[in-house]
Structure formats: C-alpha cells, structure tokens
Structure 1
Amino acid sequence: MKNKLYLIVLVCLIGVEALFAQSTVPGKVTTSWIGNTWGGDIGERHAMNWINTFAVDKDGTVFCSSYWEEGGKEFGIYKDGKDLGRLENGHGSADGGAIAVNGNAVWVSVHQKAIRKYSKLTKAPTGLEFTVGRQVNGLAAQGEKLFVATDGKDEIGVYDTEGKLHSSFSAHHPGKLAADKRGNVWMIEWPFSNKLYCYNPSGAKIKEINLGQNVKAAAIGYSEAKDLLVIANYDINSQQVFVYGNLATNPVRKRTLGVKGGIYSGTPGLIKPLKLNHPYNVGMDDQGIIYVDGFGLYPDYHADGMNRSDGFGSHLKAFDQSDKLKWEIICTSFVDMAAIDPRSDGSTAYSKHERFDLDLSKTVAGTEWTYKAFTVDKKNYPEDLRWNNKGHQSTVWIRYINDKKMLYVGDMYCTGLRIYRFEGEIAVPAGWVGRDKIWIDKNGNGKEEKEETESHTHHPPDSWALWPDENGNIWSAKQEGPIYFWKLNGLNQYGNPHYKLSDVQTFARPEEFRSVQRVRYDNKNDRMYIGGWKKGTKYADEWWGIIGDQIIAYDGWLKGNKNKKYALDLKYDINSKIPLGEVSFAYAGDYLFVVGSRTRARTLVYNNLDGSFKGEILPGEEIGGVDKTGWIDVRDGVDAYLRSTGEYLILVEEDYMGKVIMYRWKP
C-alpha cells in the first residue's frame, strides 16, 4: 500500500510538472517575484493593481472595485489576508466608481452610468443592471433601499432592490455614502470634504459636522454592530483614519488610527504599519476591525467624472481595535520594472516609487522581498512626475556618481529620463532629459524652473534609444541618424548630475544598421550594444518599441576601434498586426538576456563572449507558467545582476498579475 501511494504521488507530481515548459539553460533556475503578496499561480491569486473603492461586509470580507485590472480582477475579494477571487466581470465594464454590500447582494457601478447587482454567494451577476445616467460617486445599501450619489447632480437617489427609483433628496456634490441601522444616510462631498452630513430616512438633513482643519475626507464606512463611522483623511498633514461614535445623538471622534503625517512622519518614506500612505478607502466590520487602503493613489478625475487613478498599487491593511496590524496585502507594480542596487550584492532593489529589501537566503518563491520605503514626497515635491504618473513612468536604474546614489526613471514610451538624488529614503527630483528639452536643478529646490531648462535635438520623437550607463552618462540615438553621448560633468553643489549640451558627442550610426532602436554601453569593457533593423529589412514604423532584427556588440567603442564582437539575429513577424518580436535586452557577467512582447516572460540567454545561444529561462509553476504572465509592455522590460556568489538575478516586467518576476539562476 505504501509503495502504491508513493507511485500515485510520483505520477501526480510528474503530471503537474508537465503542465509547465521547463527552462533549457544549464544550471539551476528558480522563479520568484517582487512587489505582490501572491505571484499569480494556477489560481491566479494576486493583489489587485490598484483599488479605486471598496466595501466591507459584516464578516470582514472586502469587495473591491477598480476601473481597470490587467489580470481581469476589477472586482477583487479579500478576507483575513486571503485572496477569495473576484466577482465575474469582463474587461471594459468596470469603472471604479462605487460599490456596496448588503445581505447576499453586492452592488457595483459599471459603464460610468449604471449599477449591476451580484450574488455574494455565487460571485455572478444576478441579471439585474439598471442605468442611473451618470458616473456613480457613492453607493450605500440598507434593508430594501439602495442610495445612489451620481456625479454632477446635487441629489441622492433612493432605489429599491429591483432598480426602481422611488425618490430622491437634495445633497450638495454628493460623494461617498454610508447607511446606518436607523436608516440614516451619511455623506461626504465629492471628491473630498471637511464636513460630514447626515440625512434621515425621509431625506431631511439632520446633521452637519465640521471635521476640522487639515481634513480631506476621501471615504467613509460603517459598522452596524459597533454603530461606528470611519473616515479616511487623505490630507497630507494627517493621513489618518477617524472613528466617530454617538451617531444617534451628538457624533464625536472616539479614536484616530495612524500616525499624524502618515508616510512622511518620522523618517519620511520609511514603511511602518501605522504610517498610512494617503488613505483613500476605509471600512469597518462587525468586530470593529478597520480596513484601509492607500498607496499614494492620485485621484485622477476626468471630465466624464470617471476616476482613472492608476499605476501606484494597492496596500490593503486590517487593524484590530488596539491598532495592531492583523494582515495586509500589497501590489506595488503595474507596468513597472525594478533594479538591483549595484552596491548591495542583491540585497536591495528599487522600483519607481519603492525600495525593497531582498533576503536571498530564503528559498520559498515570493518571500524574499520586503517593502521598506515609498520614495515619492508629494508634500515637498508635488511636481514630481512619479506622483501624477504622466507618461507612465516605469523603468528604473540605480547609478552611483561620486559615491552618491542616483535613481534614473524611464517611461513606457521612452519619452525621457527623470533623474533623482536621495535624501534619506526620498528620491528628490534632480533633472530630466526629454524629447526636446533638458532640465538640471540648479538651485536645489527639486522644482523645474524655466531658466533651468535648455532645448536640444538629441532625443527625437521617433527614438526608442535612451540609456543611462553605469557612470551616469546618457546615450540616445535617432532611428536613422547618429548616436549621441551625453557625458556627465559631475554633480553640482546640490548633488544633482550635470550635463552640458555643448559637450554632447555624436557617433555615426554603424553601417550594419538601417535604424537604431536600442543602445546600451558597458563602461567596464568599453562595449556598445546596439539593437535595431538591418539594412534592407522591411519593417513597419507602427511596430512601436520592437528592438528590430539584430543586436550587435562592439568592443572599443569610446577608444574608437568599434570592433564587432558578435551579432545576434532576432526573430520577428512581419505579417503580424500586433508587434511580435523582441523588445528588451540586458547584460550581466557572461550573459546577455533578451525578452519579447507577445512571448511574455520567456527570456532568451546568450553567451556574452561570442553570442552563442545558451537556452531559455521560462516562468515556473510558482507563478503559473508562461500563460499567467503578460506581454512585456515597456521598452526596458528586463534587467540582470550578477551576485558575488555567482548567482544571476534576472528581473522581468510582468503587469498581468502585478509584479516584477525575479529569476534566480546559478549556471
């Protein structure tokens, strides 16, 4: 019997392994990740890219809503730190406006003008969906009533559970709503408010409470069992949650959750459980547990009223009545890359907003990383483009200049490089190189000023080639023109990198290329890697971001020798309507790593001495294999680092399940 059981288990294990294609490189490869509580395995468990709003059920189940979630989890469900899946939904209907739960029903705003009813038990739509004509800002359900606040309309509609409008009452700019056990409706104005309003079941305003100075109430929640109201204060000087009681008579603040000043208190940016980061969603269950989500989410309200806040991540926390953290789920990544700090030997990584500690002694996938710091300081540097995420900042590099650590950040469309110096955990804007302008912070205030900018022509609109080398020099190229070398001229008195347009050097495009799409310069070996299209190759300009059909490594580039060390032929599909080809490459130690767009997280590995192909690295079962990874959506979607132990860390962008893949390879 024992032998039979062993055989059954062995056959099952072989069957599971056969589900996933295996890496073909020599040595040992394991798949891990950074930046998400879960890796998106067979069950597609992952923390949502971001949460626009949520509702907390009596038992502590958190029903979330987001206008977009790359993995299709716009309506994610979490409880006790576990991923319970999602309400059934297809891309395109979610709008992130409002959500409410009552009894066995979950009500969700969809299509920017309608409300859909779900069964809490089956997670499926009940078939009831009715229009309210406008974007929904707030929902609350009590008994047989559904209260609806819509954008641009100074009233709250009262519907029954069949979607029929029975009445409405006046309310100024109604936003988030909560209904109490007496049938009263509590409201804050849209999008932020320093007042709390209460309306009785007949729609008469019976209370108006001034919440005080430095209050920007972003969300409210209610616990029927505790008869308490919770308010998320988004204000940058507070970043706390207020708990109000005595609701039936004279409401008073009974408790405050979180350290005043939030993420910027104490050591600014350093992560601590009670240092909330711009709390934007809040709720309370029947046990008095408070649920709060905030990740520096920037409310981006468009003319149609839709909240298209995105790109920062989600950080859902649950606190008990003693303010102790019970559990948390985290997603820091959406179309994001990470980079290893080159002086950390793999123990520290950065993404555009975050610093992570990596404990590489751990061997369970996804357990190596710890979220340690949020590096954006909205309070002192409100114009930091990482905050409003214009252009979708995504790729990062850590460079050391005169022993000073610098963060270089690129965007999804290769429009420029943002440069930051560090003050403690905060990355302070120091300059940028854009399509037609360069800015260097000359007075140290971290703010772009007109007299600090200059015009240039060295990174034209059609260019996908922009790269900061290890010494802080910048390389760019015109597709069918020259290659430019922006030599670093040290740091100015404020510690900001300085580049002179008069010092920019020009190199002729190598004769092997019709078009240059990528440049990477290795300072240590004076080696230039160029990716692009061969002469005579037919390609479409709309194939944005594809490397091309070749990568060539040249030795002695700055010495003037330009000896071709090796050339790699890259595959592409000229008949594909959607780009099919390689999009990113990185070098480290003895190897060159290449990833494609539609081939997802598959990574090709080449010998960096002669260009010979060594095999593929493929996502393992730890994250559900290749099919559970997304297309590479950024032009610098792979990076690599060689540790002193001989282990390679290969990082790959993966937004389908909201993380950065980390392959660990020991050849």
Structure 2
Amino acid sequence: MTKRAGALFCAVFLASCPLYAENVLNVKTSWIGNTFGFGDGTWTQIDIAAIAVSPDGKVYTNTIWDESGAEASIYQNGKVLGVASDTHGWGNLGGTAVAINRKYEFLAVSVGNEGGHLVSPGVWPEKGKQWYGVSRREIADPKRSSPFQSGANVSLALDPRARLAASFLLVNEVPSDTKAEIDGLAASDTTLYVSNTARDRIEVYDAESMMQKTTWSVREPGRIALAPDGSLWVLTGPRGDRTRRLAHYTADGQRLNDELPLPDDTVVADVAVDAQGRVVVADNGPRQQVLFFSRTNGRYTASGTLGERGGIFSGVPGKPGPQRFNGLTGVGVDARGNVYVSTNGVGPTRKVIGANLGATLESYAPDGRQVWQVQGLLFVDGAWIDPSRPNSVYTGNKRFELDLSKPSGQDWKYAGFLSNRFKYPEDPVFTVSEWPGMPIARKLKGHTFLFLTDMYADHVKIYRFDAARDGETAIPSGFIAGSAKAVEHVPNAPPGGDWIWRDANGNGRFDASEFSPNTSGAKLPGGWGWWVDSAGDIWRARDTKGIFRLHFGGLDSNGNPIYAWSNMTTYPVPAPFTELRRAIYDPAGDTMYATGYTADLGVDRAFWKEAGRVLVRYDKWSSGKPVQRYAVTLPWETKARPVSTIVGLTVEGQYVFAVEPFAAVHVYDKDSGQEVGVIRPGPEVGRASGWVDVPNGISASRRSDGEYLVFVEEDARGKVLMYRWKPS
C-alpha cells in the first residue's frame, strides 16, 4: 500500500472493530512523541515548513505533507485551534509558505490530478500537468475557502470542489515532474506578495480581487516579510545555497540600500519584522538561533539573539530543551513581542527526508522565557526499550524517557535527538530515503547499539554511542545495503548495492576503503524480514530464497560491530512454508519463530508488507534438524473493512505479539501457540490508529514487575502507541 493510500485508510477507520468474538485484554493505552494523543481529536502535525503569526498570538502553519491532513494548522497558547481542510488528498498538497491579513489566510499549495485520474476543467490540471499557487481561506474559519472567481456552471455553495477551485490563484502550471513551488508569501489588508521562485520574480496581487497589480524581478525569491512601513525583506539567491541573503525593497519593488550584518555562516530559513521594526531572522546554520537587527543612525546593527548558540548540538549534543533549536523553518512575532519559532529537525532543505525529523512549535516571551511548546516528533517510526536503561526508549532518531507513574500522554519526555548533521553530515538518515527507520536496540559486549530497518525492509543502519564525546548522538557505525536505488546517495558506495560498510577509522564517514561488496553468491536484496537477536546476529528472511544469518563477530578497535560475508549462514525455507516473510530468532532457547505462506494458505500479492498467514515455532533451530512445535493460522480477512491481517510481530517474555494494520495486537503464548487475547487502542487515543505501514512496526518489553510495554508504530498522527499490559 502506498503512503497516500494508507492515509486515506487511516482517515476513515477506527481500530476498534473486531471481526469475531475475542478476549480483549485489559490494557492502558498511552503514546510517545506527540503533545496530543488524539483522544480529543487533536494532534501536532509531523512537519512545519512555514508560519504566520497574528497580532494576538495565533500561529498559522503550512507544510507539504501531514499524514492525516493537518498541513495547515492553527495553534495558540499551546493548543490546536483548528486545521484547514483540502490540503491533502484529491490532488491537493500543502506548501512551504503562509501569510495572513485581518480577513484571509493565504496558503501556498499545489494541485495535481492523481496521474490523470481526477478530471474536471478548472478544478484539476490536465493530465501531465501540475499547478502551484495560492489558496485563499477565511481567517475566521480556514476550513472555508474564500472564492474570488465566478463558479461557472456549478453553484459554489453546492460543490465544495468548485468552491475550492474558485478560491485558488494559479501562479505556475508546469509538467507534473517539475517543481515550481511558491516559497514566500506576505500580505497586508490590501495586497498579497508572492515569491514566484521558479520565475525569478515577486508577483503583487490585490488581496480582494486577486488580480495581479504588478511584478518585479528578484533572483529566486524565497521568504518575504512585510515591515510596518510597507517595505519588504526578501530572501534571494540560488535555492539550497548557503550564501542566500536578505534584500530590502520598497512596496513597488525598488531595491533599498540596506544590508543586514549577517554572520558569514548564517543560513537564513525565515524572516519577520516585529512591531518595533526589528528584522528577525531564523538562522538554520551552525548557530541555530534567532537573530535580531535594529535600525540605528540609518544602519541595521545586530541587537540580540534568541536561543543557545549551536542549538540542540551545543553543550550535551542532542539534548533538547528551551532555546535549543533544531532545524529552524519559521519565525514570527506577535503584537506583545512574543517570538514564535518552528523547527523540523533539518530545516527548509529536505533532500531525501520525507516528513523530516520531527516538528516543534515554540513560543517565547520578550525576556526569552519559553511560554509553550507543542511537539509532533515521530513519523513512520517505532520504539524499542533501551537495553541499558529500563525507562529509556529509542525511536528511529530520538530517545525518550518514561515516568509510568504519570497519566497517559504525560508519562514520556523527549530526551535525545540522535542525528548530528553538523558533526556527521554523511549519516544515512540524511542521505538514504524512507525516514530514519524502525529501531532494534541491543546491548553487545557491554555497549548499546541501535539497528534501524527501513520502511520497505531494504537495508539496515547500525549506530554506536559515546556519551562522553557525543552526548545523545548516534554515531554512524555500520550499514548493510540492499538495493542500489536506496543507497545511491551514500558517499563512495560501490555500485549495485548489496554491500557491508563499517566505520573502520571511527570518523562516522563513508570512506571508500570501508566497503565490502557481497561476494558470497547469496544475495541479500529482496524480502521483508530483518531481525537482530539479543546476541547481535542479524537475520534476513528472503521470501523463497531462505534465511540468511550474519553472525556478530565482536567489536573492532573503534567499538563497531563486525559483520562479514564470510561469517554468514544460509538456511533453506523451512516446511511448511512456500514463502517466508519474517524470521525471529531467540538465542536463549535456540528457537525460531517464522511467518509466511504455505501451499494451503498462499500469497495475496495485493498485500505485500504482510507477515503472512501462518506462524510456526521451531525448536533446536541450530541443530540442523529443527523441530516444529506448533503452527498457528494468523488473522487474514482482506475483504473486511478495516482489513485484518498481520503486518509485524515480536517475541518478548512469555508471549508473541502480532500487530494488525490498525494497531490491534494479538497476543499468543509462545510455548503453546494459543491466543491469549487482543489489545486494541483505548479512549486515550480516540480508540484509533493510523496504518501500521512498516514491516517492523511493533516491539515489546517485559518490566521487572511483570508488566509488558508494547509499542506500535502509529502512522497517522505523529506518535508511537504504547500499550501497558500486566497478565493476571
């Protein structure tokens, strides 16, 4: 299932619809990674690309994608006030700019036609075309679009698609494989200013009629800030170039002889002008600060900063906290001088990262005190208990701390950001697509390592830690590559994929001498099953090709786990399977738990991430003559709505935990194979979950008091579900 198809599913179905009589287990539902759990219907969006701030402190956001359609949200005083509609699905996407005046919200958006499947002249572009422009909304209720075009042939009141189209200002029509985003917007009560980045110009429109008034040339204009005197500050220069700078213009486009004394390493992410006339700059360079500039004696001079210099990477690298910014994307100021800052973990330049690395929106009083913050930190992400700290949890590139004495949703604290793009710029989190990945944390030779499997089970990233030198940072340590396409941006990688990399010199970079192409004859690309056992061996289930086991070879002199093609064991597909999807090995009992398809319960190719239809436990796996203890038929109701299949499983303590696409977890006794019961999302999260859209989307941990924590990837609303279950 595609990501967007999954979004349509998760918007429709609750996760509380049993298909048969079942024993629903008594659990407490919580979550990690989002300020809001959806119990009241709200959540913090997973990315914030731009913000606009009203005089009374409402913050309007925009971004290209939020899984459940909150691309354009409204926040105030740490609460979600609302979400604009129609920026998601039916050809619609959000964008990277937003502006407001007293009457309207203006959103940069794009409109496509779903590969030519959406057809209506004036509502969607022709097949092969894409539209970029501005959607105008009512500021009092941004769900309502505000038409300025006549509704030919259709009553706008009766046809919401026609009304939306009549509220859309088309700026660029381009081939569907071409980008032509609107990178900046600013608005007064009479005028809208649009950065037509692709056309090297500022376009000026009447805010009521939306008729174009004039244009003027600016090289690749980006963010725009409207000053109280009517002048504009415009970010200009080649997109993605760290030398982009701010230029000052009159309202009619005349360049003013003003310069901001920006430090040489400044990377301007956004600009605003406050009521005092100070120019406020979000610096996404090494400083990770907000910079203030005031006009004195006819010149602009630096007049202050907000934020620790170095942001989250200063002091203890990766430790979050007030004024420790991480990937600034937006800045704004209200009438009382409160400053608002948005971040997404990387900044405006996205490259291969889909929804980036976690959104925050923060408010600071004029004296620098943090007033409030909201967080939407996780997307396509799982969780795994830290084997060295029972109240510490790793996700794909973050760490959280638990205090289970607190109520649901208040029992977690953001404790670490694991990816340091300034010290380790070649970290594959930034160069390999499909987000950071599903975590498996293991303690080997007294050290904790993090293994990340990606959304499509193509490859494995390996990280080590050195708290004394690198704080919370996960240091790139190893990589087991799958297909060539997925790793095409890894520096110095040999062609074709299917290689092992180990950071032999300990510098966290992909040096050419550190790659080992696969010469074993047994190819690893393909398949859906990755597992790292507690002894450090890496297992790969490859459909009809069998099971591959890369043995842990100890640690090298820099503390990296050693894996080699010469130290790999291959096992054939065991009976009764015809195709294998998962292979989970427990070295303590020499036990294998495998899932897949058999001759009687075969493959349905429409469901390609599924774990399969049968679970088998094998004892004495390594003896050469494994013994099948039991075979369990797993849920498989593909005609039902919602679908009931198994997309992931894990083994912990006395149980096997197997998760359905909408986060229902079937619990089986691992010795007998008997189903104990089912866990379903509780009222704390609105009894709902998005699509579990990954093959490794579940983990579990047995605590010292016998309680189990079960973590499930929750695709829809920026979090990971946490179930708390104590067997009676």
TM-score between the two structures when normalised by the length of structure 1: 0.91
1:347-375 Cα distance to aligned partner (Å, 9 max, x none): 0001111111101121x111111001111
For 1:153, the aligned partner's letter is R
For 1:39, the aligned partner's letter is G
**2:236 pairs with 1:169:** no
Higher deviation after alignment, 24-33 or 574-583: 574-583
Give the whole-Å Cα distance in 1 for the aligned partners of 2:31 and 2:655.
21
Change (3 A) 1:227 1:185: same
Question: Which residue does 1:9 correspond to in 2?
Answer: none
Give the whole-Å Cα distance in 1 for the aligned partners of 2:419 and 2:499.
23
Change (3 A) 1:106 1:292: same
Question: Which residue does 2:283 correspond to in 1?
Answer: 233
Secondary structure class of the residue paired with 1:430: strand
Question: Which residue does 1:125 correspond to in 2?
Answer: 145
Give the whole-Å Cα distance in 1 for the aligned partners of 2:291 and 2:87.
36
Give the whole-Å Cα distance in 2 for the aligned partners of 1:308 and 1:248.
45
Q: 2:462 aligns with which of 407, 410, 419?
A: 419
Matches within 5 A, 1:149-548: 149-161=195-207, 162-189=209-236, 191=239, 193-209=243-259, 210-223=261-274, 225-235=275-285, 237-246=286-295, 249-297=298-346, 299-300=348-349, 310-345=355-390, 347-362=391-406, 364-424=407-467, 425-435=472-482, 436-456=498-518, 458=522, 460-548=524-612
Question: 1:21 touches 1:625 (CA, 8 Å); kept in 2?
Answer: no
Q: What's the CA shift for 1:580?
A: 5.6
Matches within 5 A, 1:595-634: 595-597=659-661, 600-626=662-688, 629-634=689-694
Q: What's the CA shift for 1:540?
A: 3.6
Identity across matched positions, percent: 32
Give the whole-Å Cα distance in 2 for the aligned partners of 1:450 and 1:343.
33
Question: 1:31 touches 1:662 (CA, 8 Å); kept in 2?
Answer: yes
Question: 1:75 touches 1:89 (CA, 8 Å); kept in 2?
Answer: no
Question: Which residue does 2:189 correspond to in 1?
Answer: 143
1:373-415 Cα distance to aligned partner (Å, 9 max, x none): 1111111211111134513332001111110110101100001
Question: 1:155 touches 1:174 (CA, 8 Å); kept in 2?
Answer: yes
Q: What's the CA shift for 1:507?
A: 1.8
Secondary structure class of the residue paired with 2:597: strand
For 1:182, the aligned partner's letter is D
Q: What's the CA shift for 1:94?
A: 2.6
Give the whole-Å Cα distance in 2 for the aligned partners of 1:195 and 1:135.
19
For 1:51, the aligned partner's letter is I
For 1:527, the aligned partner's letter is T
For 2:256, the aligned partner's letter is I
Give the whole-Å Cα distance in 2 for the aligned partners of 1:543 and 1:94.
27
Question: Which residue does 1:13 correspond to in 2?
Answer: none
TM-score between the two structures when normalised by the length of structure 2: 0.84
Give the whole-Å Cα distance in 1 for the aligned partners of 2:609 and 2:55.
48
Higher deviation after alignment, 412-421 or 201-210: 201-210
Question: 1:184 touches 1:201 (CA, 8 Å); kept in 2?
Answer: yes
Structure 2 unaligned regions, length at least 5: 1-13, 111-130, 148-166, 173-179, 483-497
Change (3 A) 1:453 1:596: same
Give the whole-Å Cα distance in 2 for the aligned partners of 1:593 and 1:149.
51
Question: Which residue does 2:98 correspond to in 1?
Answer: 99
Change (3 A) 1:416 1:619: same
Question: 1:464 touches 1:517 (CA, 8 Å); kept in 2?
Answer: yes
Question: 1:544 touches 1:579 (CA, 8 Å); kept in 2?
Answer: no
Structure 1 unaligned regions, length at least 5: 1-17
Give the whole-Å Cα distance in 2 for the aligned partners of 1:312 and 1:54.
18
Give the whole-Å Cα distance in 1 for the aligned partners of 2:404 and 2:625.
40
Q: What's the CA shift for 1:561?
A: 4.5
Give the whole-Å Cα distance in 1 for the aligned partners of 2:243 and 2:297.
22
Q: What's the CA shift for 1:564?
A: 1.7
Secondary structure class of the residue paired with 2:222: strand
Q: What's the CA shift for 1:233?
A: 0.4
Secondary structure class of the residue paired with 1:489: coil
Change (3 A) 1:491 1:554: same
Higher deviation after alignment, 332-341 or 568-577: 568-577
Give the whole-Å Cα distance in 1 for the aligned partners of 2:354 and 2:311.
20
Give the whole-Å Cα distance in 2 for the aligned partners of 1:20 and 1:585.
19
Secondary structure class of the residue paired with 1:84: strand
Secondary structure class of the residue paired with 1:622: helix
Secondary structure class of the residue paired with 1:502: helix
Question: 2:328 touches 2:347 (CA, 8 Å); kept in 1?
Answer: no
Question: 2:15 touches 2:663 (CA, 8 Å); kept in 1?
Answer: no
Q: 1:39 aligns with which of 31, 34, 37?
A: 37
Give the whole-Å Cα distance in 2 for the aligned partners of 1:313 and 1:368.
19
For 2:100, the aligned partner's letter is V
Give the whole-Å Cα distance in 2 for the aligned partners of 1:150 and 1:423.
46
Question: Which residue does 1:4 correspond to in 2?
Answer: none
For 2:444, the aligned partner's letter is I
Question: 1:394 touches 1:634 (CA, 8 Å); kept in 2?
Answer: no
Question: 2:109 touches 2:135 (CA, 8 Å); kept in 1?
Answer: yes
Q: What's the CA shift for 1:461?
A: 3.3
Q: What's the CA shift for 1:522?
A: 1.0
Secondary structure class of the residue paired with 2:381: coil
For 2:415, the aligned partner's letter is K
Question: 2:500 touches 2:564 (CA, 8 Å); kept in 1?
Answer: no
Change (3 A) 1:160 1:467: same
Question: 2:503 touches 2:510 (CA, 8 Å); kept in 1?
Answer: yes
Q: What's the CA shift for 1:81?
A: 0.5
Number of matched pairs = 637
Q: What's the CA shift for 1:536?
A: 4.2
Change (3 A) 1:327 1:318: same
Give the whole-Å Cα distance in 2 for the aligned partners of 1:459 and 1:81.
51
Secondary structure class of the residue paired with 1:496: coil
Secondary structure class of the residue paired with 2:291: strand
CA RMSD of aligned residues (A): 2.3
Question: 1:118 touches 1:125 (CA, 8 Å); kept in 2?
Answer: yes
Q: What's the CA shift for 1:26?
A: 7.3
Give the whole-Å Cα distance in 2 for the aligned partners of 1:451 and 1:549.
43
Change (3 A) 1:392 1:620: same
Question: 1:24 touches 1:617 (CA, 8 Å); kept in 2?
Answer: no
Secondary structure class of the residue paired with 2:566: helix
Q: What's the CA shift for 1:294?
A: 1.5
Change (3 A) 1:433 1:74: same
Question: Which residue does 1:15 correspond to in 2?
Answer: none
Q: What's the CA shift for 1:343?
A: 3.2
For 2:367, the aligned partner's letter is S
